[in-house]
Amino acid sequence: MKIAMMGSGGVGGFFGGRLAHAGYDVSFVARGAHLAAMRQQGLVIESEVHGDIRIPTVRATDEPASLGPVDLVILSVKLWDTEAAIRQIKPLLKPGTGVLSLQNGVIKDDILHRELGEAPVMGGVCYVATTIARPGVILQTGPMQRVVIGEYDGRPSERARLLHEALLKAGVNAELSGDVRRAIWEKYAFLVGISATTAAMRTTIGPIRKNPRARAFLLEIFRETVAVGRAQGIALPADYADACLVRADGLPEDMVASMAHDLQRGNRLEVEWLSGGVVQLGAAAGVPTPANRAVWDILALYAGGGKPA
């Protein structure tokens, strides 16, 4: 199986690196200093929990078309780069090629379906805490390394089976799902809440869940997102928001979502696709989403980048 990682940062570099280390034919699309380091010294994954991995030589490029047709494209670019990335990967597609997005949110697969049609698009979601520690080095900051994949029609497929097998051999906790849309929404509901509150309130999850008003706001974000998902026909339990709050109580005190990190660094934010996505989908489904609207508005000045004063 020939795999192209479209985006080689914390997510793409981590899962692609583990697959390459397990002996699979993996190519990496990257740019800038990260690409230069990968070309010169390969790729390193640092992990206190699972041990370090070094792949001395990797195939890395900033021109996806140079790779030729592949069996699978795994997309992990930032959400605002989705349309540009789709244009770049089109030369990699052949009949039967799968395109799997491990990006945040739920709108990303709607974009893939619109641009590529139904056949190539696979569903998937990942759970991993990683970052680019320095060019050519991915740092895993937590023990989780889980991927859920499946076909949108719910049927088993050979390409999903092969990827599942590859991920397991690479040491990743991988699952095949017959309802991958629900699996994606389960993560989305949780991520929107954690991202919205830690970014908008400029603090870690600990103080948020301890303060009664902040905790109630977090729960309302969860509830709105779950309501929108259920209105979209997603089989989320009616009490799933409460389950998300219980899960938030189990997070480390100092945990913040990646969007909060981006805000602190002055980077562009994914708020348009997270809380903003809930607002847009809620409007289409007739579901009120005032809490998510508030977060989208609060972060509007920083959505394109720039540190708060």
* Residues contacting 291, CB < 8 A, separation 6+: 196, 217, 220, 221, 224
User: What is the signed CA dihedral for 301, 303, 305, 307, rounded to 10 degrees?
Assistant: 50
pLDDT at residue 59 in the model: 96
pLDDT at residue 24 in the model: 97
Q: Which residue has the tokens 């489904």?
A: 285
DSSP 159: H
- At position 120, the amino acid (one-letter code) is P
Contact 267, 305 (CB under 8 A): yes
Flag residues of the chain having pLDDT under 50.
Answer: none
pLDDT at residue 142 in the model: 82
CA distance from start to end of the chain:
49
- At position 20, the amino acid (one-letter code) is A
pLDDT at residue 309 in the model: 72
| Token pair for 70 | 């592949």
Rounded to whole angstroms, the Cα distance separating 297 from 289 reads: 12
Question: Strand pairing partners for 4?
Answer: 27, 73
279-290 burial: b if 16+ Cβ within 10 Å, else e: bbbbeeeebebe
Rounded to whole angstroms, the Cα distance separating 283 from 217 reads: 20
Residue 186, classed as helix, strand or coil, is: helix
Q: Which residue has the tokens 């899960």?
A: 247
Contact 306, 271 (CB under 8 A): no
The model scores a pTM over 0.75: yes
For the chain, the helix, strand and coil percentages under 3-state DSSP, each to the nearest 5: 50, 20, 30
pLDDT at residue 308 in the model: 81
| Token pair for 44 | 């390193």
Residue 140, classed as helix, strand or coil, is: strand
Rounded to whole angstroms, the Cα distance separating 168 from 202 reads: 37
pLDDT at residue 129 in the model: 87
- At position 221, the amino acid (one-letter code) is I
Alpha helices in the chain (DSSP H): 10-21, 32-41, 82-89, 107-116, 158-169, 180-200, 205-210, 212-231, 240-249, 258-265, 275-285, 290-298
pLDDT at residue 141 in the model: 85
pLDDT at residue 114 in the model: 95
pLDDT at residue 239 in the model: 96
Rounded to whole angstroms, the Cα distance separating 299 from 287 reads: 22
